[in-house]
Amino acid sequence: MPSSGTPGIVYWPSAGFALLLVASSVCATQAGKFSGVDKPRADSWVTVKDKTGSCQMSVPGDWTLNPEAPGHVTTPEQTDSMIISGFKHPRRPMSEETQKTVGVDKLFENTADRWFYAAKPIPGTGGKPTLVVYHVDVARDDGTCIAQILVHRNYPEEAVKKIAASVVAVKKQANRDRKEK
């Protein structure tokens, strides 16, 4: 209901609140978040590329891309994951010694071209949940694609496996096409 404060000006008491909601929605969208209107669905998937464009992975659509850090995404539970391109290393399965050194808790895949494992859980403190870091290392001609997927311990392992399976090197032709544009 309008009220009058100054002659000739109508003041809506809830207008300030409505303006605040719109402003916060716009600010959140511009910060890489999604407003309630255009929020993607968890059953959709988004492709994330590292900053060089050499590596990519797909993540659930409700994960937020970080526009200031290519290859970085945040889950709805506020954990961060990333994909980067790394140095070339000899193509061979990960040795038992290396597994011990990097803290492998569960090994899913260990071939010359692909390593996929979960590290030992990180206990939560002060009421925070226990976290698990999954690592994926995929060989490519001139290096590796490395993904780190950080999720709450109760995050579905099948979903993590789907993300891990999507980690790939981008074809060199696709990189050349991108550079020519």
Residues 97 and 168 in one domain: yes
Which domain does 146 fall in, by range? Answer: 41-180
- The reported pLDDT for the residue numbered 88 is 83
CA dihedral 44, 137, 75, 121 (to 10 degrees): 130
Helix (H, G, I), strand (E, B) or coil at 92: coil
Residues 7 and 68 in one domain: no
Residues 33 and 47 in one domain: no
pTM (predicted TM-score) = 0.71
Helices (H) and strands (E) in the chain, counts: 4, 12
Residues 114 and 127 in one domain: yes
Residues 50 and 32 in one domain: no
- The reported pLDDT for the residue numbered 84 is 94
- The reported pLDDT for the residue numbered 178 is 53
Residues 134 and 145 in one domain: yes
Residues 30 and 102 in one domain: no
- The reported pLDDT for the residue numbered 141 is 87
Domain count of the chain?
2
- Output the tens digit of pLDDT for each of the chain's 181 residues: 444 444 444 433 333 323 222 232 233 333 344 333 344 555 789 999 999 999 999 999 999 999 899 999 999 999 999 999 988 878 899 999 999 999 999 999 999 999 999 999 999 998 899 999 999 999 998 899 999 999 999 999 999 999 999 999 998 644 455 555 5
- The reported pLDDT for the residue numbered 19 is 29
Residues 22 and 105 in one domain: no
Residues 75 and 139 in one domain: yes
Cα separation, 129 vs 86, in Å, equals: 30
Helix (H, G, I), strand (E, B) or coil at 179: helix
CATH number at residue 118: 3.40.1000.10
Q: Which pair of structure tokens corresponds to residue 85?
A: 């391109």
Cα separation, 171 vs 181, in Å, equals: 16
Residues 83 and 121 in one domain: yes
